[in-house]
Amino acid sequence: MTITSTPNNDVRYTWAVALYQQMRENFWIPQRLDITQDVTDYGNLTDDERYAYDGILSYLTFLDSVQTCNIPHLKTSITAPEISLCMAEQISQEGMHNQSYQYLIETIIPPERRTQVYEFWRTDKLLRDRCEFIAKLYQKYIDDATTENYFIALMADFLLEGLYFYNGFIYFYNLASRMLMPGSADIFKMINRDELSHVRLYQKLIPEARKVFPHSVEQIYEMFDMAVNYECRWTNHIVGNNILGITESSTEKYTKYLANIRLRSIGLEPLYPEPKYSKSPYTHLERFSDTKKAAHTKANFFEATVTSYVMSSGLTGWDEI
Ligand SMILES: [Fe+2]
Ligand SMILES: [Fe+2]
C-alpha cells in the first residue's frame, strides 16, 4: 500500500482524474477501421518490407501481451482509486491492442504465414532474448515482491510504454507516407495515442515513486541505456538499412532522442546530451500519428472513420508530449 488517496471526494491526484477521462474519450474499436487496401498492398511490399511488417507485428503482440499480464500485478499496490482506475483502463486497452494485432494478422497476412508471425518472438533468437529481458524485469517483482523490485517493474513499464513501441510505429507511418498499408497506419495511430496516455500515467507515477522507493539515479540511467541498446539492436535486425526512409543511424538518433525526452519528463537530465539527439529524425512522419488535426490526414480516405472517434475533451493540465 504505497500510493494512497483519501477515501472521500477529496481526490489527491487530480491529474489522474483528468487522465482517466481522456483515456475513456480515446475509445475506439479496431474492427471499425477499414484495412482492405492493406491486403493488396501487403502482396506488393518488397520482401524486406514484408519481413519487417511481420516481425514488428509479432514483437508488438508480445509487448501488449506482457502488459496485459503484468499491469494487474503493479496495480495491486496502488490504493488511490483515481490511479487504480487509470490502470484498469490501461489493462483494458492493452487487451484491445492485442485484438487489433490479431485483426491485422488475420485480415492481411496470408494463412500460411500467420503461425510464423505469432511464433516469431519464439523462433527468432534475437527477439526471444529481448522478450525474455523485458519479461524478466517484471518477473523479478512477481517472484520477490520487494519495494526495490516494485520500482524496477515500474521503470520497466515506463520503458516499454515510452520507448519500445515507437520504432515500430515509425515503420508503419513510413509505409503510409509512401501510400502503403494505410489501414495499418490508421490502427497504429490509435494505439500510439493510447500508449501516450500510458506514458503520461507512468511519468506522473515515477516521480511519486522516487520519493518512497529505494533506487538510485545511476540505476535508472543504466536501465535506460540498456533499453536503448536493446531497442536499436532489434530495430536494426528487423528493419536495418533495408527500408526506404529508415537507416541504422536514424534509428539510433530517434531512440536516443526518445530516451532523452522520457528522462526529462520524470525530472532527470538527458542521457545523450549531444545536439544530434535533441531532435527527432522523423518529424516528417509525425503528421501520420496525429489523430486530431484532420487537415494533416486528408490523404487517407479512411481518416473520416478515425476522426469520428475523437471527441473534444476540454481537458486541461496536460502538456503534449
Ligand atoms: Fe498497448
Ligand atoms: Fe501501453
Each residue's pLDDT tens digit, 228-279 = 999 999 999 999 999 999 999 999 999 999 999 999 999 999 999 999 999 9
In a domain, 56, yes or no: yes
CATH number for 169: 1.10.620.20
State how far the Cα of 169 lies from the Cα of 235, in Å rounded to an integer.
11
State which amino acid sits at residue 301.
F
Question: From the CA of 279, how far away is ligand 2's center (Å)?
Answer: 24
Pairwise CA distance, residues 239 & 226, whole Å: 20
Question: 148 labelled as ligand-binding?
Answer: no
Which of 313, 120, 138 lies closest to 223 in space, CA to CA? Answer: 138
What range does the domain containing 52 cover? 34-307
Which ligand sits closest to the CA of 65?
A: 1
- The answer to whether 186 is annotated as binding is no
303 is in an annotated binding site: no
- pLDDT band for 7, please (50, 70, 90 cuts): low
Question: Which ligand does the CA of 74 lie closest to?
Answer: 2
Q: Which residues are CB-neighbours of 241 under 8 A, at least 6 positions away? A: 247, 248
Q: Can you tell me the distance from the alpha carbon of 255 to that of 235, in angstroms, rounded to the nearest whole number?
A: 10
Residue 318: which residues within 8 A CB-CB, separation 6 or more? Answer: 15, 18, 19, 22, 200
Q: Is the CB of residue 57 less than 8 Å from the CB of residue 101? A: yes
Phi, psi of 78, deg, nearest 5: -100, 120
Mean pLDDT, residues 276-297: 74
pLDDT at 178: 95
Residue 3, in any domain of the structure: no
189 within some domain = yes
319 is in an annotated binding site: no
Give the whole-number percent of the chain exceeding pLDDT 90.
83
Give the total number of structural domains in the chain.
1
Distance, in Å, from the CA atom of 76 to the CA atom of 261, rounded to the nearest integer, reads 29
**Within a domain: 298:** yes
Q: Is the pLDDT of residue 47 over 80?
A: yes
pLDDT over 70 at 125, yes or no: yes
pLDDT at 289: 75
Which of the ligands is closest to the CA of residue 96? 1
- Mean pLDDT for the stretch of residues 1-15: 67
- Does 307 score more than 60 pLDDT? no
pLDDT digits (tens, 9 = 90+) for 58-98: 999 999 999 999 999 999 999 999 999 999 999 999 999 99
- Give the Å distance between the CA of 172 and the centre of ligand 2: 18
Mean predicted confidence (pLDDT) in 110-117: 94
Specify the higher pLDDT residue, 308 or 166.
166
What is the whole-number distance in angstroms between the Cα of residue 96 and the centre of ligand 1? Answer: 8
122 Cα: distance to centroid of ligand 2 (angstroms):
22
User: How many residues belong to the chain?
Assistant: 321
Using the mean position of ligand 1's atoms as its centre, give its distance from the Cα of residue 198 in Å: 8
The yes-or-no answer on residue 166 being catalytic is no
pLDDT at 214: 85
* Within-domain flag for 153: yes
- Ligand 2 centroid to Cα of residue 20, in Å, is 14
Residue 299 pLDDT > 60 = no
**pLDDT above 50 for 19:** yes
Taking residues 96-118, what's their average pLDDT?
Answer: 96
3-state SS, residue 173: helix
Residue 313: per-residue pLDDT: 41
**44 CA distance to ligand 2 centroid (A)?**
31
Answer whether residue 316 is part of any domain. no
Q: What is the mean pLDDT of the chain?
A: 88
| 72 located within any domain | yes
Q: What is the pLDDT of residue 3?
A: 58
Looking up cell 492493406 gives 38
User: Is 73 marked as a binding-site residue?
Assistant: no
Reply yes or no on whether the pLDDT at 196 is more than 70.
Answer: yes
Range 192-197 average pLDDT: 95
Find, among 62, 301, 235, the residue nearest to 160 by Cα: 62
28 within domain boundaries: no
Extended strands (E) in the chain? none
Cα–Cα distance measured from residue 59 to residue 201, given in angstroms and rounded to the nearest whole number = 23
Q: Check whether 20 has a pLDDT greater than 90.
A: yes
DSSP string, 13-71: -HHHHHHHHHHHHT---GGGS--HHHHHHHHHS-HHHHHHHHHHHHHHHHHHHHHHHHH
Selecting among 101, 166, 254, 257, the annotated active-site residue is 101
